[in-house]
Amino acid sequence: MPIMTEQTHPITDKTWSGRFSEPVSDLVKRYTASVFFDNRMWQQDIRGSLAHAHMLSQQGIITTDDLAAIERGMTLIRQEIDSNQFQWNLDDEDVHLNIEKRLTALIGDAGKRLHTGRSRNDQVATDIRLWLRDIIDDIDGLLRALQKSLLTLAESHSETPLPGFTHLQVAQPVTFGHHLLAYFEMFQRDRERFTDCRRRVNRLPLGAAALAGTTFPISRETVAQELGFEGICENSLDAVSDRDFAIEFCASASLVMTHISRLSEELVLWMSPRVGFIDLPDRFCTGSSIMPQKKNPDVPELARGKTGRVYGHLMALLTLMKAQPLAYNKDNQEDKEPLFDTADTLIDTLRIFADMIPGIRVKSEAMAAALRQGYATATDLADYLVKKGLPFRDAHEAVARAVRTCESRSCDLEALTLDELRSFSPLVDVDVFEVLTIAGSLAARNHRGGTSPAQVRAAIARAQATLMQ
């Protein structure tokens, strides 16, 4: 008779129960189980299991009848899960055992033969990689959608002047389109990082078994080919214990969230009535419970907060792995929840921002007014003097004195007369007033990467071509 627990669970219900003389406590079962979060990988688990079964049959390790039964059983399990009929069981610990137990219940001993030549260690590593590969593909599509949204808005404002800031002080004129293209570049680098990460994710661990490989004549290459992996993990110890790919994913996600957070910070500042550069669509904002005039930029604010959440998951995974000896340890189970939450957070954030960006209403008058507050064309005046033959350091000093004069009069550089400007340098001539306009400042920066409207339009065209590749 099987030994029974206080909860009437027989020890023999466990796949490893033959070694033990007493049952696992209910608290430990709850503490160690992963089924209620790793069951989201059920599709990947079935895909991996079927590929493994096909290989076992091809290699003569299981019979064709066993394979047919396994395929039939997995079809039924898919249907049960899709229709919410499948009963996930805490006692079976994880997604793999739950599916295997149900398979065995449906088809008998053939279900037990499925585990030949593999371990849960290499199985879970395979599931995670399959799942993460799909997620990276989804994220790339969402990043592209966000980039398209930025380009749409940038194209509408390729000539709209905006103060460029350093230290939050007005520095030089740029166009709003040029400003948005800076974020396009950030997200393009993010896409490149995920593409690179995907290459390292796309290696098959299955066949490493628990840590040393298997005595059965398996063909790992066959499984890799069926599952679309670019290659196999070369070392069995590393294959089951490696979580570098998860850390790398979270690092790439953290950088995306960094860029989202930077954009969010600007959206919050720009929307403030003290700045008043933009207005966000109402569906992305909330009001105040007490102040009826308020319209709060909740989405970008929360995105800043969720950035810290993703950073925390990256640190959790780094900490998880930093002291683990080879090979697999139960610690490794703690990789999934941070990884899942990182993916969920990033995907939701990208979807929202791709939808929000095209709805931004730009207040170009406020942007133009801000340019009149900070002597934005001072550098243009210095460059003008340099082109007339004055050394830059002397030109810098002359323009600094001109700005000081304007500050005392509460006027802009454009308001100074020709004679007043000549008092700072005799090299000044009547053509200086073409330089001191915002339009002139923008048009003068007519080189690749510059902020002239012509270059912004050219950059948008190049960016659109990049997205078509």
Q: The domain that contains 61 carries what CATH number?
A: 1.10.275.10
Per-residue pLDDT, 290 = 80
Separation CA 330–CA 343 (nearest Å): 22
Q: Is residue 178 part of a domain?
A: yes
For the chain, what is the domain count?
3
- Token pair, residue 407, equals 């500050």
* Shared domain check, 305 and 274: yes
Domain final residue pick, 368, 398, 422: 368
Same domain, 340 and 392: no
- Please report whether residue 18 resides in a domain: no
Residue 280 one-letter amino acid: L
Q: Are residues 62 and 38 in the same domain?
A: yes
In a domain, 235, yes or no: yes
115 is catalytic: no
Joined tokens for residue 40? 């989201």
State pLDDT tens for residues 189-243: 999 999 999 999 999 999 999 999 999 999 999 999 999 999 999 999 999 999 9
Question: CB atoms < 10 A from the CB of 96, how many?
Answer: 26
Residue 212 exposure: Cα atoms within 13 Å on the Cβ side: 2
Domain that holds residue 43: 33-116
Task: Give the burial class of 358: count Cβ atoms within 10 A of its Cβ; 0-12 exposed, 13-18 middle, 19 or more buried.
Answer: middle
What is the C-alpha separation between 419 and 429, in angstroms, rounded? Answer: 9
Q: Which amino acid is at 342?
A: T
> 10 Å Cβ neighbour count for 229?
23
- Is 167 one of the annotated active-site residues of the chain? yes
Quick one: tokens of 196? 């690179």
* CATH code of residue 455: 1.10.40.30
Give CA–CA dist 378/441, Å, rounded. Answer: 10
In a domain, 8, yes or no: no
Give the model's pLDDT for residue 21: 65
List the alpha helices (DSSP H) in 275-391.
298-321, 336-356, 364-371, 378-387
Does residue 395 share a domain with residue 262? no
Looking at 37-168, which runs of residues are DSSP E strands? 161-166
Residues 406-426 pLDDT 10s: 999 999 999 999 999 999 999
Q: How many other C-beta atoms can be found within 10 angstroms of the C-beta atom of residue 140?
A: 15
User: Residue 339: inside a domain, yes or no?
Assistant: yes
Is residue 168 domain-resident?
Answer: no
* Cβ atoms 177, 155 nearer than 8 A: yes
307 and 374 both lie in a single domain: no
Q: Which residues lie closer than 8 Å to 440 by C-beta, 6 or more apart?
A: 377, 380, 434
CATH of the domain at 236: 1.20.200.10
pLDDT at 238: 98
Residues 342 and 430 in one domain: no
For residue 7, being part of any structural domain is answered with no
Both 363 and 403 in one domain: the answer is: no
206 and 345 co-located in one domain: yes
Last residue of a domain, one of 352, 368, 384: 368
Pick the catalytic residue: 167, 408, 410, 447?
167
Angle (CA) 214-22-104 rounded to 5° is 50
Taking the C-alpha atoms of residue 357 and residue 187, their distance in angstroms, rounded to an integer, is: 14
Helix or strand holding residue 231 (H, E): strand 231-232
Residues 383 and 362 both lie in one domain: no
Q: Are residues 112 and 126 in the same domain?
A: no
> For residues 55 and 223, is the Cβ–Cβ distance under 8 A?
yes
Residues 6+ away with beta carbon under 8 Å from 320: 243, 331, 332, 334, 335
pLDDT at 18: 58
Point out the residues of the chain with pLDDT beneath 50.
1-12
Handedness of CA 75, 80, 81, 82 (dihedral sign): positive
Question: What's the CA gap between 133 and 414, in Å, rounded?
Answer: 57
Domain-embedded: residue 378: yes
Domain boundary among 335, 368, 401: 368
Identify the burial level of 265 via C-beta atoms within 10 angstroms of its C-beta, where 0-12 means exposed, 13-18 middle and 19 or more buried. Answer: middle
- Considering the domain architecture, whether residues 320 and 379 belong to the same structural domain is answered as no
69 and 140 assigned to the same domain: no
